[in-house]
Chain A
Amino acid sequence: MKKKLVKMMAITMLAVFTLVGCAGNNATKTDSSATPAKTDTAKKEDAPKVDAAKEYVINFPSIWVGKDSKANMMNTLIEEFNQANAGKIKIVVEEIADYDAYTDKMRTNIAAGTVPDIFTFKHGAQADLYFKSGKLMDLTPYMNEGWKDQFLGDAINAVTFDSKVMAVPYEFGVTPVMYNKALFEKAGVMEFPKNYDEFFAACDKLKAAGITPMSQMTGANAWTSMLWYSQLVHSIGGPDVYKNGFDDPAFVEAARVMQKMFKYTTDDAVGATAAVAGGHFLTGETAMLMNGPWFIGRIKTEGANNMYESVEAAPAPYYAGGKGQPGGYIGFIQADIGVAKQDDPGKEEAVIKFLKYITEPENVKRVSLDSGALFVVKFDLGNEVERLQGQMNAQLNAAPYAIPHFEASVKPGVASEFPQALSGMILGELTPEQFVEQLKAADQM
């Protein structure tokens, strides 16, 4: 027994030192491989010229992997790029499906000074932190070469910090109401309501017909309910409502309407996650869900009784007497692509080449058609566009304005507070006024 123990210890020591040894050898052999891009060794490289014989390995930690709707086409695009640039550029994808883990890792990378060559991040407060870090590449000279003309409207301004373009704006999100027309018709509602009076009348009819009108949730980030609240806030307070801060009465009034909405949802809404809220819609238990185009794929594959044929997209109702306008849409840059500052001009060129490749209208179109996702890159969907995606596009084009949702418009602390405050209000622990006070307190922290 004792001999065995000693032997086991010796073997372990040997194994560990062998592994350390192997690791050390590998580290010296690879150029940059999949390790974070900017290490001290990389900094010491004193070759400011483009080396044509060298293969540049670009590290790309990606969330568009696994079961993400964009994973399939992104993978194809990257494979095609690697084949076309064999021996010169190689994109190495680091697969991180879990978004929270991805965010944690990117933050740690930035803090440790080892920024990945290419990575994505949410637009909004998180993006500002990265822009201010001083570790991202200034893309202004490349954008000024005509690249920026490929992007929609204000997209480039949104990623400009201190007069420098600090990221590539990429995915765009819209979140209309998706409703099950068959259930609406069953309840005698033939048209999607235009305003909230009609909306609640329709909800009563649906309820009378034994159908739960809508999915709501307060678990996790309260996504679906947060989107409803966003719609209400701008519909009541107008598109500039966030500039007024939480003193704007629109926030309290929107909370009052939210309280009423929860009377028309499922019993498990308080604490429910996006999977539960989405699941109720997919099973046909609820008639409405507010979500983005990325949900279309799930309606097709998981919707009960071929529900895809019955689902339509519509702008949320408008609030009569509010400062917003009918058709106002929630639209926001969903993902920016950040690029690490490069010391090697050859590698910088390689990174830019890849970014230009994935933002080419034809390639963006391929991802969009395959996934249902929308992008801030201009491209013509033509006749191939998927039905619901086409509806969303048309509604977005017809919208008098499109503004980001609540979560993207407030401080991260307020966004974190929202689900708890909403739960408290729905459970009767907080009044709408106290709900807003709680958000306001988080805003001032």
Chain B
Amino acid sequence: MITKADTVAIPLKTERRKEITPVDTLKKFFMWFVIIWFTIFTLMPMIWLVVSSFKTNTELVSSPFSLPTKWQFQNYINAFQVSGIGKMLLNSLIISIIATVLNMMVASMASFSLSRFQFKMRELVFGTIIIGILIPINALMVPYFTLINKLGIYDKHVGLILTYAAIGLPISTYIIRGFMSGLPVELEEAGIIDGCNFYDRFFKIILPLSRTGIVTAATFQFLFSWNEFIYAMLLTSSQNVRTIQVGIRYFSNQFTTDYTSMYAAIVISIVPSILGYILFQEQIISGLTQGAVKG
């Protein structure tokens, strides 16, 4: 049975929905303007890069924003044949993945000790580790080069893996420790009551709960290892070990730069990053946003 009150209430509701003021329209317009602007701002360089990678160098300079008159697939062939980017891509994957996992192992263990235990000079140890964030990596070229040479791992995958894992350690420890510090002590106490030893507490309680922080740190570490060039060049001498960043710069010589082939190599180099992002999108975004609060 419909009462009077109901019949009155319904049209009122509908009326309220229709009430769109000019201010609302302006707000919406502004919102979409910002969204579209940022989309264009973010995507345009990528689209430009892809389109430019199919041009000749002359076309690139004469009309940088036009479409190619003839699509130059030769640039991609150059990227693979001249610089041997296929092998370098594989090297980058191997080195970046292992360096990231190694870095996460060490950083998470260090963070566990530095966040869950009280001991003398804990903050000093932590401070000593994270001071590495402030040191520019160029300043460490000579010591790293000497060290890697003395260890006999110059021009070996492992040389780059250890270097990248070490360079990324301060920032990873900083991020993961921030996450671990936020976990309630009661969880570990409950674990101890249930018979967890030191290792169980780390592997079964703290590590799984810090997954978001670890993913955040791992994302940074992977991107650093993937994009790093100075040490990739410094600590290697043969194409069998070199990474994709060296391959990209293979087209830049003393007097000439083959920009379009270089762009083709860059496009190839960003494909794995994009694929990785698509696959781990959820973890990366949640990790980064949580990191923004906790870090």
Which residues from chain A sit less than 8 Å from chain B, CB to CB?
1-2, 5-6, 8-9, 12-13, 15-16, 19-20, 22-24, 26-28, 33-36, 39-40, 59, 61, 63, 65-69, 92, 94-99, 101, 104-105, 108-109, 111-114, 274-276, 278-280, 282-283, 285, 292, 294-295, 298, 302, 304
Contact = CB atoms under 8 A, between A and B. Distances in A.
A26 B61 CA distance: 47
Contact of B101 (A8, A24, A61, A92): A8
B255 interface: yes
A5 B210 CA distance: 13
A8 B214 CA distance: 14
Interface residues of B, number: 52
B254 A99 contact: yes
Contacts of A36: 149, 154
B258 A16 contact: no
B208 A67 contact: no
Contact of A19 (B161, B239, B253, B261): B161
B233 A26 contact: no
A98 B204 contact: no
Contacts of A282: 57-58, 61
Interface stretch (B33-41, B125-133, B138-146): B138-146
9 contacts: A12-B105, A34-B155, A35-B155, A63-B254, A67-B82, A108-B141, A279-B61, A279-B62, A282-B61
Interface string B225-239: 000011001100111
B156 interface: yes
A96 to B, nearest CB: 7
B259 interface: yes
B110 interface: no
B56 to A, nearest CB: 7
B57 A97 contact: no
Given A35-B154, A275-B256, 9 more contacts: A2-B203, A5-B207, A19-B161, A67-B256, A68-B253, A98-B252, A104-B141, A275-B57, A278-B256
B158 A20 contact: yes
A408 to B, nearest CB: 14
A61 B61 contact: no
B61 A283 contact: yes
Given A13-B105, A66-B82, A67-B258, A95 B233 contact: no
A97 B252 CA distance: 6
Q: Mostly helix, strand, loop or mixed at chain B's interface?
A: helix
B154 A294 contact: no
B249 to A, nearest CB: 4
B98 interface: yes
A299 to B, nearest CB: 11
Contacts of A302: 56-58
Given A16-B98, A98-B249, A105-B234, A112 B157 contact: no
Contacts of A40: 150
Given A12-B98, A97-B252, A279-B60, A19 B207 contact: no
A112 B62 contact: no
Most chain B CB within 10 A, of A94, A109, A295, is at: A94
Contact of B229 (A35, A101, A111): A101
A92 B240 CA distance: 13
Nearest to B229: A101
B251 A27 contact: no
Contact of B250 (A8, A13, A66): A66
A6 B108 CA distance: 13
A42 to B, nearest CB: 11
A68 B254 contact: yes
A69 B257 CA distance: 11
Most chain A CB within 10 A, of B61, B101, B145, B229, is at: B61
A144 to B, nearest CB: 32
Interface string B78-98: 000011000000000000001
A280 B59 CA distance: 10
B267 interface: no
A108 B142 contact: yes
A274 B239 CA distance: 28
Contact of B207 (A2, A24, A63, A112): A2
A278 B61 CA distance: 9
A59 B251 CA distance: 22
Given A19-B161, A22-B156, A298-B256, A2 B204 contact: yes
A39 B204 CA distance: 47
A266 to B, nearest CB: 10
Contacts of A114: 145-146, 149
Contact of B255 (A16, A22, A283, A294): A294
A275 to B, nearest CB: 5
Contact of A94 (B56, B142, B208, B237): B237
B159 interface: yes
B60 A97 contact: no
A285 B102 CA distance: 54
B258 A112 contact: no
Interface in B222-280: 229-230, 233-234, 237-239, 249-259, 261
B152 interface: yes
